Structure 1
C-alpha cells in the first residue's frame, strides 16, 4: 500500500487555521506525499486547501482521514455516513486513499462503524480501509466483520513502545502499522542509545528514530510538527541507512513509555 515516498507522512493533529494550512503546504514543498488528518482534528478543510493550492498531482498524494473517535457522539450508521460525507466535503476530494475508524470506545462501536466504512471501499470512493488504536482482540473481531482487507492499523509506536506483540500478530496479514507519536512526544531525545546512533550518522535523534521505524518493512510513520525546519529534518529519515548494529541497538531498548493511554483502555 505505502511506497517509499508515502511511508513517511505528516501527522496533522493541531495544525489548524492559516498556520496549519501553511505548514501542510510546506510539507508538500519539502516532498511529503502522505497526509494524515481526522474529523476530530478539525483541520480537514486546511488539508484540502493545501492540496488544492499545491502543484503536486493528486495521484501522487496519499490522503488519510479518520472518523468515529470515542469522543465523538454515540455511533450509529447514520452518524458514520454523515461523518464520512462531511470529511469528503471538507477535504474537497472525490476519493480518499485511506479511511480509518479512529478509536473505538467498545467493540460495539466496531460492530457499528466498520461495516459502514467497508461500503465506501466496495463503492470505489475509498481505496483502503484502516483502523486505529485497535487491540489484538479488536483486530480479531474486525476480521470477522468485513470482507475487504484491513490495510492499516494506526497505533502509537516508537523505540519506547515497539509493539512487537502486535506486529507479530499482524505478520501473516496485509495490515501495515502506521506509527503515530513516533518520537514519543520528544522522549526519544533523552535516550542514550538513540543519541549514540544519531551521533554516528551525524543526524538528529528524530531522524534516527524515524529511520529505525522505516527499517521495519511493515511500518509507516507520521510525525507531526509545526516547524518547517523540523519538516525538513524529519524528511532526511528517508535517506538514512541504519546498519544491523544500529537497528539492534535500538531494538534492545527496554524502556516502555506510552504517550496516549486513557484510563479505561485495556491494551
Structure 2
C-alpha cells in the first residue's frame, strides 16, 4: 500500500471510512478490513463508534506501529478544555495511548483558531497524537491556519469525488505540500451507477466504483477513505488499486458534471 508522507507520519493512501457504522457491525467491519490488509482506519467522536473500533483493533493482532488511526473532535468541543476532554474520551474508547492523526471535524462560526491550534499542538508535543489536521476547511480558513498560525497541518479531509470539483482547494494544498484525504470518494454510491464510469470499467474489467476510486488515488497528494462494511466491498476497493486508467478515461471523467456535493450541513463554511 502506497503511503503519503506528511508531518512525520505515513498515511496509507486507501483507508476505511466508518461513518454510520455502529456497534458489533462496526467492530466486525473493522476486523474484516484489518484482516484484508487495511492499515488506515478513520473515525470521529461524532460517529459514536470509537469503542467498537478500539475493540476491533485490540482483537486484530496488528502491531500498533503498523496501523494508522485518525479521529476527530466535533465542532461543539473546540474550546481548549472541551477539546482536551473530547480527546481523552476518544483515546480511552479507542484503547490507545496515542492516535496518529487528530482532526478538527468541522469549523465553527465562533471558533478561536489560535486557541484551538495551541491546544492541538500541545497534544502533539505531549506525544498523544502524532500529527494534527483539519477537515472541511475551505481555502480562506486554511490560509489562516497555515500562514498566520503556522500550524503543522498533516491533511485537510474533505468531500472529493468524480462529481465534485476541488481544483482551488487542491491547488492550495498542493502548493503547501498538504495531502487531501477524500471522504465520500464514491459520491455516496452515485459513482457505482454512473454510465460513463461503467463504460470505462467495462474496458478494464473493473466496476464503476473502482474506476472512481482509482481516479482519486492516481492524483498526487490524495488519499481516500471509502466506507465499506462488507468484506466483498472492502476487497473491491483494495482491488481498485490495480486498475490502470488511460488519458481517454481521464478525459471522459473530466467531462462529467462536477457540481454534486453530497455533504453540506447548515454549519458548513462557504465553499470556495
| TM-score, scaled to structure 1 | 0.92
Q: Relative to structure 1, is the Cα distance of residues 103 and 5 closer, same or farther in structure 2, using a 3 angstrom cutoff?
A: closer
Quick check: 2:124–2:131 contact (8 Å CA) kept in 1?
yes
The correspondence of residues 143-162 of structure 1 with structure 2, limited to 5 A, is 143-144=146-147, 146-162=149-165
**Unmatched 5+ residue regions in structure 1?**
none
For residue 64 of structure 2, what is the aligned residue in structure 1?
Answer: 58
TM-align CA RMSD: 1.9
State how far apart, in whole Å, the 2-side matches of 1:223 and 1:260 are. 14
1:139 aligns with 2:142: yes
- Deviation of residue 107 (structure 1)? 5.9
CA deviations over 1:187-225 (Å, ceiling 9, x no partner): 112322211111111111111111110000110000012
Q: Give the CA deviation at 1:104.
A: 1.2
The equivalent of 1:67 in structure 2 is 73
Alignment coverage as a number of residue pairs: 264
SS of 2:235's partner is helix
Per the alignment, residue 37 of structure 2 pairs with: 31
From 173, 176, 180, the counterpart of 1:173: 176
For 2:267 and 2:116, the matched residues in 1 are separated by 20
Q: Residues 145 and 151 of structure 2 are in contact (CA less than 8 Å); yes or no, is this contact kept in structure 1?
A: no
1:2 matched to 2:8? The reply is: no
Is the contact made by 1:115 and 1:146 (CA closer than 8 Å) also made in structure 2?
Answer: no
Counterpart secondary structure, 1:23: helix
CA deviation map 1:133-156 (0-9, x unaligned): 001111011114544421100000
The equivalent residue for 1:206 is: 209
SS at match of 1:96: coil
State yes or no: 1:18 paired with 2:24: yes
8 A contact 2:114–2:149 mirrored in 1: no
From 188, 193, 213, the counterpart of 2:191: 188
For residues 215 and 13 of structure 2, what CA distance do their matches in structure 1 show?
12
Distance 2:112 2:29 in 1: 33
1:259 equivalent in structure 2: 262
Distance 1:144 1:22 in 2: 42
Q: Does residue 245 of structure 1 match 2:248? A: yes
Pick from 66, 75, 79 the counterpart of residue 76 of structure 1.
79
Q: TM-score, normalised by structure 2?
A: 0.91
Q: CA deviation at 1:109?
A: 4.7
